[in-house]
Amino acid sequence: MKTILFQGDSITDCSRNRDSAPNMPAHLGYGYPNLVSAQLLYEHAEDMYRCINKGISGNRVVDLYARWKIDALNFSPNLISILIGVNDVWHEANQNGVESDRFELVYRMLLEWTKKVLPEVKLIIMEPFALPSDVVAGEFMPEVKLRAEIAKKLAGEFDAVFLPLQEKLDAAARRNSNSYWLWDGVHPTPAGHRLIADAWLEAAKPLLKD
């Protein structure tokens, strides 16, 4: 059995049912983890994938680190997908964000810990993203971009697949409005989740061959 773990914040959580079993629709939530898992479970029925969603709405990288043992390492996943960073910016409105240098420090600690416990694990580090909106204004976009650059840097350091998403969303926004893809500038619509899922499946192809 191959275990794929999706980790992150509300963009990953998507109202998942905490009491439901892996692979079940309620467990996976309504977003990209569900779409990705549906495709994998259909195409790789013989491989017995176990798809787990442990995203939690509102999480910052420090929250991820605090629960990493029980919500990641203890599952001994074959592949871990991580999308984190936007709340580290957003929560600064309430004076509880995570500054970029501390974001990098904690994210690196998390990845070092992961590689020490699970040296063979494969990693997908997803780029945090946003699109301008009533909520996303001022310094929001530059700060998200800064954390995206850190995520890309860490992916290179830890032999992870980096999944760029900002350029894909920028291109999509030329087809229709920003809110068509991210309804508030951060959280994906159905079309936005489809875009992310397709990008994820393409990026994961070399990791799923073994």
Q: Which of 13, 27, 88, 187 is catalytic?
A: 187
- Closest C-alpha among 137, 122, 101 to residue 203: 122
Are 131 and 178 a contacting pair, CB within 8 Å? yes
* Catalytic-labelled residue, pool 71, 179, 184, 198: 184
Q: Spell out the alpha helix ranges (H) of the chain.
A: 10-13, 25-28, 32-43, 61-66, 68-71, 86-90, 100-117, 140-157, 166-172, 178-181, 190-204
Is residue 44 annotated as part of the catalytic site, yes or no? no
Q: Which of 9, 10, 27, 37 is catalytic?
A: 10
The answer to whether residue 91 is catalytic is no
Other residues' Cβ atoms within 10 Å of the Cβ of residue 180: 15
Active site residue 10: yes
The residues carrying an active-site annotation are 10, 184, 187
